[in-house]
Structure 1
Amino acid sequence: MINFHQSWLDIGSGAPELANTTAQLEIYVGDLNLTRNENIFSKTIQDHVIVSSYPLALWMLQNWWRLLYEPLPMKNNPDVSWRVAHELGAANHGFVWPKILFASDNKNVQVWSTPSEANCQQSVKYINGTNNHTSIPISDFRQALIIFISKVENRLEDKNLKGKDLSALFSIIKEEEENEGSKIYRKLEALMGFDPDECSPNTMDYAINLYREHGESTLLELAPIYGKTGNTEPLKPIEQLINARGIYGNPTFTTKQKENSANYNSPPWTLAVESARELRHEIGDTKKPITTKMLFELLGIPSSNIDNWKTIGTPNVSVGIPTSKKYIKFLPRKKHRISKRFELSRYIGDYITTTNNQWLASTDLGTSRQKYQRAFAAEFLCPINSLIEFLEGNYSNEAINHAASYFDVSEQTITSLLANNNYIEHQPLNGLPYHIGYNQMSTWPLPRK
């Protein structure tokens, strides 16, 4: 859960909207106070920071759709447009904000934070940061923003200030959320990395047609890759995938993800492990390594077509497109033998969670669906219980290398399985998923109008 607590002050300066919304602000993610800081001048530790709430509320509204729905991009250095929409420091207006980053995974909004650098020369030096990201359900995150923005709006009204920009934008967003067509439109814009009304009408018409024909689940995974930052006209590569030649298969297993209300709030890796174990039970093999031949058989790909399983070019995604004859057209992207095995397993995991008419899609994004696929593939190819039995308590590099060879997976897969199951120490991200110097986050241009 995320909470924004503000205690109003009457000591603000500047424009009326800024001065009258000056507050002692505290931001909590769970029990962690992300605004706890050392005041460089007074040499005191405080849980709050004195800022104006108005620019933060306005920043939330200006980036509403992207905050809720746009995922972390695949590249390590997101462009300025992405960062302005997701880093809290972009609220700017001369205040020293904590380094906090928000990015959606289609199910949750993930929150990263890191403390100020040791040599920080700002008036406020933030102390706390997250060791890894914290996931907050989108509905909870949205509600926290609404509560914060509403308090700012009410404060302006109490001070007889209209706060036209904020109130007008807040009203527009409420109306758009209540209209299903408008909500889909804004969500598609955000998934492609566009601000409201930044994308051309022709592209949006094309996006909506794809949405209607191929479903939201497909666009959730592909639009962020083939959107604004792509090297071609937005979403056009999807059409190329539709028209491309592929390898056809008809999955032969029956395991499917059971639908129940508890599943929605469960971490994707928990559900993935359950599915992997259930499929292992279905095929009658709960411990031994899975052969590549078995992976193809599970996907219903005839042995005569296996040699044609080749990647053309350097695609950003691998997909499985359902056809009218109940077959799936697979378009792979991995070339290395070990990577191919993992890709085949991700297809299997994705098929377990989709309906008959949904695309299968594997990417390098950090969406909830992709997390599920990776966790499924790791557990299916290398069951953690079998791995621990094989290693016999030896977690040395040599033993990990031996296990990778035995299960025919990468050493990274072995290491991740051991770390995720607390057999070896997990290396924390120590803050943000990409490197940013503090000054880079505290010198943003003024928020967009």
Structure 2
Amino acid sequence: MNNDLSSIRDGWLDASTDDAEARAITRLRISVRGEQIARNKTNRAGIESEAINTSLLPLAEFLANNWWPLLYEPIRPSLDDGFRIRHRLDSGMRGYAFPPIALWSAGEQAIAADWAAFSNPFSTVSFLAPQPNEPVQLKRAGVEDDLADLIETVLERTSGASKNLADAWERVTMSISEADERAYCIAAGRLGLDPYDPDAPDLGQWAAGIPDELFGDVSEIVEVRELEEAAEWVREYETRLRLFPETELSYFGEPVPDLLDGSAGSIGHHSAIRLRAYAVLPTEDPRSAVDHLLGGVIAEGSQLAAEGPSGITALVQKNGTSARIGTVARSARQRRFRACAAAYMAWTSRNDEDRAATEATTRRQQASRAFAAEMLAPQQALLARATRFGFDGDDLEDLASEYICPFETVMWQAVRAGIPLRGIEIPQGHRPEVITAQHVA
């Protein structure tokens, strides 16, 4: 078991029955980063416990049948009930008590998990684990290992009596063992599609001529219904980007490695600080620092396009220690922010990878935006300029104009630096509502 996610059985409760679902009933505890997700109390007697009695067969069938979308589809702006059904583990439990927990992709190496306290008047128990402030990000490999172990444990316990489970898991394991098949299944799962559905869209046609990593970045943000058109745009503008000059990355140094032990924002933020120190760039003059780093990428008229598919902000082609960067931007402020985010994508990519900077919520994309914010409006520079009364709206606009960056970038950097803001309404952070807490008395 990995330390991020673990499902622990306290024995099997019925060994005599021939019914596979009954044979898979166990006393189950679920831990995510030490939080006991299955902690509950009985609605009648009010007795609390860290474990629940439930059958693992419905859970194993749900996991095996939804493996690729469950683990590879990220949240998109248009979060709907279909996404919730695919990602809430309790949605496949066929009436068995199970805590409201959801899993989804947070990027290439991470899985996001969310849960909440939940009271169901039609259930015998209420779940008590409080919802985290933000969805928790876990190491993908460990989560996949734990879920695979659970499925195989159920198969062994039931002697393969569930043909649904046996067939579904055989398909998954065969796909995992074949590199090309696995890549296709991941691409389908990233879009919330079943890779084994013969009526699913032809991803091979959509992705033709687009490098795998770039198609993956696009698929994380673009809706399925818009993907064919977006792919055509990418092919056209990828060709145009090959005519752009290259930006040297060798003097960036090494980014902060993402070990998944902190927020994505902190990785991007500290990577910007590390770059400034390595390249000896002035913190107090971020405008000239960014000019020095990106030069022609941020010059007037240098953008790749004024508009593109929703959510795509730049394209990147890395070639050794240099990269071509083309932004999708309408203004100088937007161009500089998106160029910085794209530079982070190039910096953290392998040689000869083509990538896209997007508005996706996956870890690398979040880190790229935090990197851009710190490069354009360093927190230390803002602290040096702030009075004891902080900033008002005019102050923020003056700074945004001086630094040539979005007003919102300066505002959020000031908030993160702990600078008081006067007469400014700070927008509430948007939390994805995959799981909604219900009152537990």
Fold-level match, TM-score > 0.5? yes
Give the letter for the 1:365 counterpart. Answer: A
What does residue range 23-422 of structure 1 map to in structure 2 within 5 Å?
A: 23-75=26-78, 77-80=79-82, 82-104=83-105, 105-116=107-118, 122-128=123-129, 129-157=131-159, 162-198=161-197, 203-206=202-205, 209-210=208-209, 214=211, 216-226=212-222, 228-230=224-226, 232=228, 235-242=231-238, 248-256=244-252, 258=254, 263-265=258-260, 267=262, 268-281=264-277, 284-291=280-287, 294-295=290-291, 298-301=294-297, 303=299, 305-306=301-302, 311-312=306-307, 315-322=310-317, 331-355=326-350, 357-391=352-386, 394-395=389-390, 407-410=403-406, 412-414=408-410, 416-417=412-413
Does the 8 A contact of 1:289 with 1:382 survive in 2? no
In the alignment, the residues of structure 2 paired with residue 358 and residue 335 of structure 1 have an alpha-carbon distance, to the nearest angstrom, of 26
Give the letter for the 1:90 counterpart. Answer: S
Give the letter for the 2:124 counterpart. Answer: S
Matched residue, 2:10: 7
In the alignment, the residues of structure 2 paired with residue 397 and residue 121 of structure 1 have an alpha-carbon distance, to the nearest angstrom, of 51
Shift in CA distance, 205/309, structure 1 to aligned 2, threshold 3 Å: closer
SS at 1:300's partner residue? helix
In the alignment, the residues of structure 2 paired with residue 72 and residue 317 of structure 1 have an alpha-carbon distance, to the nearest angstrom, of 15
In the alignment, the residues of structure 1 paired with residue 408 and residue 55 of structure 2 have an alpha-carbon distance, to the nearest angstrom, of 46
Does the 8 A contact of 1:248 with 1:329 survive in 2? yes
In the alignment, the residues of structure 1 paired with residue 233 and residue 32 of structure 2 have an alpha-carbon distance, to the nearest angstrom, of 38
Shift in CA distance, 240/199, structure 1 to aligned 2, threshold 3 Å: farther
Post-superposition Cα deviations, 1:371-428, rounded to whole Å, max 9, x if no partner, equal 221111011112222223333555565576665565454454345445656779x999
Does the 8 A contact of 2:265 with 2:370 survive in 1? yes
In the alignment, the residues of structure 1 paired with residue 204 and residue 416 of structure 2 have an alpha-carbon distance, to the nearest angstrom, of 43
Post-superposition Cα deviations, 1:335-360, rounded to whole Å, max 9, x if no partner, equal 35533331122122222223453224
Give the letter for the 2:362 counterpart. Answer: T
Shift in CA distance, 115/201, structure 1 to aligned 2, threshold 3 Å: closer
List alignment gaps of at least 5 residues for structure 2.
Answer: 421-425
In the alignment, the residues of structure 2 paired with residue 310 and residue 208 of structure 1 have an alpha-carbon distance, to the nearest angstrom, of 21
In the alignment, the residues of structure 1 paired with residue 349 and residue 418 of structure 2 have an alpha-carbon distance, to the nearest angstrom, of 30
In the alignment, the residues of structure 1 paired with residue 10 and residue 223 of structure 2 have an alpha-carbon distance, to the nearest angstrom, of 41
Shift in CA distance, 381/43, structure 1 to aligned 2, threshold 3 Å: same
In the alignment, the residues of structure 2 paired with residue 30 and residue 302 of structure 1 have an alpha-carbon distance, to the nearest angstrom, of 42
In the alignment, the residues of structure 2 paired with residue 304 and residue 131 of structure 1 have an alpha-carbon distance, to the nearest angstrom, of 41
Give the letter for the 2:311 counterpart. Answer: N
Shift in CA distance, 321/412, structure 1 to aligned 2, threshold 3 Å: closer
Post-superposition Cα deviations, 1:143-201, rounded to whole Å, max 9, x if no partner, equal 111222222222213xxx63332233223322221221221121111123211223658
Shift in CA distance, 50/350, structure 1 to aligned 2, threshold 3 Å: same
SS at 1:248's partner residue? coil
Q: How many Å apart are 1:108 and its aligned residue?
A: 0.5
SS at 1:186's partner residue? helix
Q: How many Å apart are 1:84 and its aligned residue?
A: 2.3
Post-superposition Cα deviations, 1:273-306, rounded to whole Å, max 9, x if no partner, equal 3432344346543222433895497153485744
In the alignment, the residues of structure 2 paired with residue 111 and residue 413 of structure 1 have an alpha-carbon distance, to the nearest angstrom, of 28
In the alignment, the residues of structure 2 paired with residue 32 and residue 314 of structure 1 have an alpha-carbon distance, to the nearest angstrom, of 40
In the alignment, the residues of structure 2 paired with residue 323 and residue 32 of structure 1 have an alpha-carbon distance, to the nearest angstrom, of 41
In the alignment, the residues of structure 2 paired with residue 194 and residue 314 of structure 1 have an alpha-carbon distance, to the nearest angstrom, of 20
Q: How many Å apart are 1:4 and its aligned residue?
A: 0.9
TM-score by length of 2: 0.81
Count, aligned residues: 427
Q: What is the aligned-residue RMSD (CA, Å)? A: 4.0
Give the letter for the 1:20 counterpart. Answer: R
In the alignment, the residues of structure 2 paired with residue 36 and residue 429 of structure 1 have an alpha-carbon distance, to the nearest angstrom, of 28
Does 1:19 find its partner at 2:18? Answer: no
Does the 8 A contact of 1:246 with 1:331 survive in 2? no
